[in-house]
Chain A
Amino acid sequence: DAKTTQPPSMDCAEGRAANLPCNHSTISGNEYVYWYRQIHSQGPQYIIHGLKNNETNEMASLIITEDRKSSTLILPHATLRDTAVYYCIVRTGANNLFFGTGTRLTVIP
């Protein structure tokens, strides 16, 4: 699975959009981009995933660049409960999810 690069931390004002970037320059054609988050002391929570096209669900939007070397997770209206560590993962469907160190998002009141 390709490795990813994420900023270690970010702040976002409550009610504003949170845009979390991820670089995955070595991604191959059949690798999906997955996003999980982990709220303190809880199990990782699946957010969204995509291959080439942008994706949206009830939690977030995923924007993948045309060359697929980077992506952005967008939380449209961040709340205090969105404070968590966000992990960007690329995978081919192998059994292992490589979580890395993620981005610690702090939503500020």
Chain B
Amino acid sequence: QVQLVESGGGLVKPGGSLRLSCAASGFTFSDYYMSWIRQAPGKGLEWVSYISSSGSTIYYADSVKGRFTISRDNAKNSLYLQMNSLRAEDTAVYYCARSVSSGYSDYWGQGTLVTVSS
């Protein structure tokens, strides 16, 4: 069965960096687009970034462009999110999700909490 397991969240000071990972299993990882989606405490879902199956196409939300970098390693069945220059408003649960070409995410991990606070 499809499994997505995020890791790497934690407490970081404003201006700091963090790298999130997502380990995928139960499907051919290299065949699928992948996304990061976040949810601030008590708030709705916010799309963060998207990467094509080969990694050749990448998109970012305006709120993170220039600060976050999405990448993947198909040999390791892993997705990453490098987050730099973190701000308090980046505090959220970050979900890794498998995505398809028509733009929806059919499987989600359980999420990892990132807290940006001094």
Query: Are A and B bound to each other?
Result: no
Binding site for B on A (CB under 8 A): none
